[in-house]
Amino acid sequence: MRVKFSGIAISVAVALSMAGCATQANKDPLESMNRGIYKFNDTADKAVLKPIAGAYKAVLPSPIRTGVNNFFTNLGTFTSLVNNILQLELGKAMDNTGRLLINSTIGIGGLVDVASMDGVPNHRADFGQTLGKWGVGSGAYLVLPFLGPSTLRDTAGLTIDTLYFDPIQYTNHVRERNQLRMLSFIDLRSQYLPASDLIDDAALDPYIFMREAYLERRHQFVTGEASSFDDFDDDDEEVTPPEPQ
pLDDT, one tens digit per residue, over 73-83 is 999 999 999 99
pLDDT in tens, 38-72: 999 999 999 999 999 999 999 999 999 999 999 99
- In angstroms, the Cα distances linking 173 to 74, 110, 170, 212 are 21, 21, 9, 39
Q: How many CB atoms lie within 10 A of CB 196?
A: 19
Residue 155 pLDDT: 97
Predicted pLDDT of residue 10 = 58
pLDDT of residue 232: 39
What is the residue-wise DSSP string for the chain? -HHHHHHHHHHHHHHHHHGGGS-SS-S-TTHHHHHHHHHHHHHHIIIIIHHHHHHHHHHS-HHHHHHHHHHHHHHHHHHHHHHHHHTT-HHHHHHHHHHHHHHHHTTTTTTS-HHHHTT-------HHHHHHHTT----SEEEETTTEEEEHHHHHHHHHIIIII-GGGG-S-HHHHHHHHHHHHHHHHHHTHHHHHHHHHH-SSHHHHHHHHHHHHHHHHHHTSSSS-----TT----PPPPP-
Q: Are 152 and 138 within 8 A, CB to CB?
A: yes
Residue 149 φ/ψ, nearest 5 degrees: -60, 140
pLDDT at 234: 40
Q: Which residues of the chain have pLDDT under 50?
A: 227-245
Its pTM stands at: 0.82
